[in-house]
């Protein structure tokens, strides 16, 4: 049976991957992406200001939150730029590159990635390709979404490590610092972009123009993408990554386009062909494959003992290198690692 925390990740997918790209893409059709991003992430940050103030003297939490905020800012802001010219379906496919980035980085940095995770990666990539690949030729927006997926992958990898070295009661301050960084950089992008593009003329700004802008601003998409598909999902990710490895988590994220296609099925009336159904099956299969060991933990008694010893050695080495990019190594089951940390 899947750990309870895994369902938090699936919940985050419903709000984030399934609908976030679609909402942002539709909003950017009539709204400047810089202004929308600034308001969206300001909405994220406001509820967390008290938690940030409460943890203002916690240097470790502040440094970790600022780092995660930078990685997340790069991912979200580059994604917003990419969606100006990229198709929403293709953007969903390119966002799946995160599934490849995390195991690849973990492997390069010395973490043992289970073979089942690599099979899950392959199945998910093939599945999304069959489900959503196609359309217009590649463009600059596709390249930006590709880069965005890399930064999201690094963010997931670092979130795994930081969430396991941070006390549970510091998760909200950690998340607060994170979203405040994104809000600040988004606002900076909006101010600088408006100045250079001539979109803002301070001499002609009046209260009437400000009021008209506030009335016509898409507040519902901003509140939805800010509070639900960003804050709730980031909180669920931090909580889930205490019990699930980053490599396993991003394979679960591979179901993102599947949920998006499901929303399109019910809300937009879109229908799948045969290739779409096969792709959907591959995506689900890849996600399930990444979690099969949690269902059948006793493959080999001797192998399990050896793996536990290897985990203890790797965990000790990792604790000595808190500032490295590497994630907390999770080879067999995350429950064993959590128990080790408690001792």
202 contact partners, CB below 8 Å, separation of at least 6: none
The answer as to whether 55 is a domain residue is yes
50, pLDDT greater than 70: yes
Which residue, 314, 320, 328, 278, is CA-closest to 162? 328
Residue 300 banded pLDDT, cuts 50, 70, 90: very low
Q: Which residue has the higher pLDDT, 79 or 266?
A: 79
The pLDDT of residue 182 = 93
Q: Is residue 238 part of a domain?
A: yes
Going from the C-alpha of 147 to that of each of 31, 84, 150, the distances in angstroms are 23, 15, 5
What is the pLDDT at residue 302?
Answer: 42
Q: Which of 101-110, 190-199, 324-333 has the highest mean pLDDT?
A: 101-110
Q: What is the greatest pairwise CA distance in the chain? A: 75
Collapsed DSSP state (helix, strand, coil) of residue 56: coil
pLDDT for 166:
84
Can you give the pLDDT at residue 63?
A: 94
pLDDT computed for residue 61 by the predictor? 92
Q: Which alpha helices (DSSP H) does 198-290 contain, by range?
A: 207-216, 219-223, 233-240, 246-253, 256-263, 274-289
Distance CA 290, CA 249 (A): 9
Question: ∠ at Cα 324 (319, 326), nearest 5°?
Answer: 80
Higher pLDDT, 188 or 270: 188
Integer Cα distance of 46 and 237 in angstroms: 20
Looking at per-residue pLDDT, the higher value among 152 and 331 belongs to: 152
CB hemisphere CA count around 70 (13 angstroms) = 6
pLDDT at 326 over 60: no
Q: Is residue 274 pLDDT above 60, yes or no?
A: yes
pLDDT digits (tens, 9 = 90+) for 72-98: 999 988 988 888 877 666 676 667 677
With tokens 């128990």, the residue in question is: 339
Indicate the angle between helix axes 171-197 and 33-45, nearest 10 degrees: 160
The C-alpha atoms of residue 192 and residue 190 are separated, in whole angstroms, by 6
Mean pLDDT value of segment 185-197: 74
In angstroms, the CA 79 to CA 317 distance is 35
> Do residues 74 and 123 make contact, with C-beta atoms less than 8 angstroms apart?
no
The distance in angstroms from the start CA to the end CA of the chain is 26
Range of the domain at 199: 4-113+136-269
- pLDDT higher than threshold 50 for residue 210: yes
Considering only CA atoms, which of 140, 167, 134, 124 is closest in space to residue 283?
A: 124
Give percent of the chain with pLDDT exceeding 70: 59
- Residue 160 tokens read as 């795994």
Measure the CA–CA gap between 44 and 176, rounded to whole angstroms: 9
Whether residue 76 is contained in a domain is answered as yes
Could you tell me if residue 118 is inside a domain? no
Structure confidence at residue 264 (pLDDT): 64
- 318, pLDDT greater than 70: no
Closest CA to 261 of 278, 246, 248: 278
pLDDT tens, residue by residue, 10-36: 555 555 556 777 788 778 778 888 888
Residue 303 domain-assigned (yes or no): no
- For the chain, the C-alpha Rg in angstroms (whole number) is 21
Most confident of 12-26, 57-71, 273-287: 57-71
Does some domain include residue 291?
A: no
pLDDT at residue 335, rounded to an integer: 42
Instruction: Tell me, yes or no, whether 336 lies in a domain.
Output: no
Cα 12 to Cα 16, 93, 336: the distances in Å are: 6, 18, 25
**Predicted pLDDT at 331:** 42
- Residue 3 burial (10 A CB sphere; 0-12, 13-18, 19+): middle
Can you give the pLDDT at residue 305? Answer: 44
Higher pLDDT, 251 or 296: 251
Mean pLDDT over 40-49 rounds to: 89
Per the domain annotation, does 98 fall within a domain?
yes
Question: Cβ distance 43 to 284 under 8 Å?
Answer: no
Residue 105 has pLDDT above 90, yes or no: no
| Other CB atoms within 10 A of residue 31 CB | 18
Question: How many domains in the chain?
Answer: 1
């Amino acid at each position: 049976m899947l750990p309870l925390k895994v369902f938090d990740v699936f919940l985050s997918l419903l709000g984030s991957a399934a609908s976030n790209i679609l909402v942002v893409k539709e909003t950017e059709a009539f709204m400047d992406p810089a202004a929308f991003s600034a308001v969206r992430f300001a909405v994220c940050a406001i509820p967390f200001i008290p938690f940030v103030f409460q943890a203002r003297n916690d240097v470790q939490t502040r440094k970790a939150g600022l780092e995660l905020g930078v990685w997340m800012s790069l991912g979200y802001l580059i994604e917003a730029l990419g969606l100006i010219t990229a198709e929403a379906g293709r953007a969903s496919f390119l966002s799946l590159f995160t599934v490849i980035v995390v195991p690849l980085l973990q492997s390069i940095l010395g973490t043992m990635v289970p073979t089942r995770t690599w099979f899950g990666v392959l199945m998910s990539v093939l599945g999304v390709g069959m489900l959503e690949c196609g359309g217009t030729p590649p463009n600059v927006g596709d390249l930006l979404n590709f880069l965005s997926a890399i930064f999201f992958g690094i963010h997931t990898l670092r979130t795994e490590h930081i969430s396991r070295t941070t006390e549970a009661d510091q998760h909200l301050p950690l998340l607060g610092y994170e979203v405040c960084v994104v809000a600040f950089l988004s606002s900076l992008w909006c101010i600088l972009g408006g100045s250079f593009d001539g979109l803002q003329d301070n001499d002609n700004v009046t209260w009437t123009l400000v009021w008209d802008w506030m009335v016509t601003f898409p507040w519902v998409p901003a509140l939805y993408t800010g509070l639900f598909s960003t804050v709730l999902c980031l909180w669920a990710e931090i909580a889930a990554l205490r019990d699930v490895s980053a490599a396993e988590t991003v394979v679960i994220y591979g179901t993102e386009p599947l949920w998006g296609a499901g929303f399109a099925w019910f809300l937009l009336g879109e229908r799948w062909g045969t290739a779409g159904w096969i792709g959907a099956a591959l995506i689900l299969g890849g996600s399930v494959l990444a979690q099969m060991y949690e269902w059948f933990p006793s493959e080999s008694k001797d192998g399990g003992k050896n793996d536990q010893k290897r985990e203890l050695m790797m965990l000790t080495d990792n604790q000595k290198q808190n500032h490295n990019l590497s994630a907390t190594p999770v080879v067999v089951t995350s429950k064993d690692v959590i128990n080790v940390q408690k001792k």
